[in-house]
Structure 1
Amino acid sequence: MDRQTAVLVVEDDPSIRTLLTSALTAAGYAVESAADGQRAAAAAGSRRHGLIVLDVMLPDTDGFRLIRELRTRGIYTPVLFLTARTEVEDRIIGLSSGGDDYVTKPFHVQEVLLRIRAILRRGNAPAAASGPLPPLRYADLALDRTAHEVRRKDRLLKLSPTEFRLLACFLARPEHVLDKREILRQVWNYDFSGDTRIVDTYVKNLRRKIETEPPALLHTVRGVGYCLRLPRDENRPAGP
């Protein structure tokens, strides 16, 4: 673990904020904290953090709205949500808002630390490989895992870390149908209580970003999952 990784803890409950700050500092992270959304937004914009631990219920906003605001500002720091909400629907809202993981209260500090390490490992995986990784390409779409950039033709696309991993998952196996549960395992590393709607939400978001011009590349295979391919008529070899 990088002992210099900066973590922003956003929590309005002083006891929980102190607990997390102490635990993360003891684990070797450089910790900054904020008690409300306004201070959190200012802190996220003024310093580069490796991760944000974000309470959903804040006195001046909610964490879902805050993370959407940060994403529109081009801040794609990974986010671990903390919340007392336990419904699957709330989890889907949080993750589709741009979050990377979700821990419900009451929680065990060790679980939070494990989730943080897992998120950071996912984000640092390309850098851990030996030497530059070759770009993943299909049609006019290219994903550079070393520079962490995605381009369609000559246009640079802005993707969140999770959207980047999702696209890499498709580009690693173009023209193969990927089951939704397989996508969950590869992109999120575990199954969210058997609910695959988060995949649908992220694919919808990804389509909106990569398919601003034809041809469409992400196709739904009903009852199964999704496939990255050219439309059938454009993918058919030319006849004599």
Structure 2
Amino acid sequence: MTPRPTPYRLLLVEDDDTIRETVAERLTAEGFLVDAVGHGNAALDHFQDTPETSAFDLILLDLMMPGVHGLDFCRYLRRRGFTTPILIVSAKDSETDRVVGLEVGADDYLVKPFGMRELVARCRVLVRRSSRSAANQPAVEVLRHGELALYPEEYCATMKGLPLNLPPKQYRLLEFFMRHPRRVWSRDKLLERIWGPDFIGDIKTVDVHIRWLREKLEDNPSQPLLITTVRGFGYRFG
């Protein structure tokens, strides 16, 4: 006997009680496992862990909600590395609204009022596409240390889910530290690895860039916890 496939789990975020109940009932009848919430803050509670532990295969999202706005919710998830497909369902129907929704991280946009058959079809397309992508593509490399995350393939880093906007040398210095945690590096070695063996300049360049990094990474840059000074030797990360 062929085992039944595991049903897809969907998070429905909709503040209108009637719409939320109707959509949840229909999608449940179509085989989805539906968790339904009525505002953005409740939705955020489901995404406090890491992207790798996300329990949802799809998010069905209204925009105009109490608490966290739908667009801010999209931005938050994408900045933290969540790739869960997002289908925006909204009464805002201008081209600008649709474009903004897609640009901040949504995968599809459906305008209210909508037909249930179309909604179900779009949900199925998104979860199938996401499943194929996860099965066929290698995992994206992510370097993590606590609430700090660095994405080498995307050339970006985040702290507590917010982008750090690092200039090239600061980014390369942080990536180097994160690839070699707990090891002590002298200023000379850091200059050679990050600036190159032909660099001509003051060795204090390293100190300046580390100070700038600490200002972006540390809660208290004057008492750093991530990038520490090892007196007489150099610097250590982690």
TM-score (norm 1): 0.54
| 1:42 aligns to 2:38 (yes or no) | no
Matches within 5 A, 1:5-154: 5-45=8-48, 47-126=54-133, 145=137, 147-149=138-140
C-alpha separation between the residues in 2 aligned to 1:126 and 1:83? 26
CA contact (8 A) 1:45 1:75 kept: no
Unaligned runs of 5+ residues in structure 2 are: 143-150, 156-164, 170-238
CA drift of 1:122 comes to 1.4
Answer yes or no: is the 8 Å Cα contact 1:95–1:101 preserved in 2: yes
Per-residue Cα deviation, 1:83-118 (whole angstroms, up to 9, x for no partner): 001100100000001000000000111111111111
2:7 aligned counterpart, secondary structure: coil
Q: 1:78 to 1:2 in 2, by over 3 A?
A: farther
2-structure distance, mates of 1:92, 1:10: 20
Distance verdict in 2 for CA 1:11–1:158, change over 3 Å: farther
Given that 1:150 and 1:158 are in contact with CA atoms closer than 8 Å, whether structure 2 keeps it comes out as no
Give, in whole Å, the separation in 1 of the partners of 2:83 and 2:48. Answer: 11
Q: What are the superposed Cα offsets for residues 11-42 of structure 1, whole Å, 9 maximum, x if unpaired?
A: 00001100111111111111101110100010
Give a deviation string over 1:183-212, Cα, whole Å, max 9, x none.
xxxxxxxxxxxxxxxxxxxxxxxxx9xxx6
Q: 1:125 Cα shift?
A: 2.0
Deviations along 1:91-150, one digit per CA (max 9) or x if unpaired, are 00000010000000001111111111111121122466xxxx5xxxxxxxxxxx1x2426
Structure 1 residues 126, 82: closer, same or farther in 2, change over 3 A?
Answer: closer
AA aligned to 2:13 is V
Q: Describe the SS at the equivalent of 2:48.
A: helix
Higher Rg of the two aligned structures: 2
Do structure 1's residue 4 and structure 2's residue 7 form an aligned pair? yes
Deviations for 1:58-88, whole angstroms, at most 9, x for unmatched residues? 0123211111012222222110001001100
Please give the root-mean-square deviation of Cα atoms over the aligned residues, in Å: 2.9
* Cα 1:78/1:127, change in 2 over 3 Å: closer
TM-score normalised by length of structure 2: 0.54
**Structure 1 unaligned residues grouped into runs of 5+:** 134-144, 160-207, 214-240
Q: Is the 8 A contact 1:3 1:28 kept in 2?
A: no
Report the Cα distance in structure 2 between the residues aligned to 1:78 and 1:16, rounded to whole angstroms.
21
Q: How many percent identity over aligned positions?
A: 34
Q: Tell me, in whole angstroms, the C-alpha distance in 1 between the residues paired with 2:81 and 2:125.
A: 23
Pairwise CA distance, 1:44: 3.2
Report matched runs for 1:90-239 at 5 Å: 90-126=97-133, 145=137, 147-149=138-140, 156-157=152-153
Match of 1:171 in 2: none
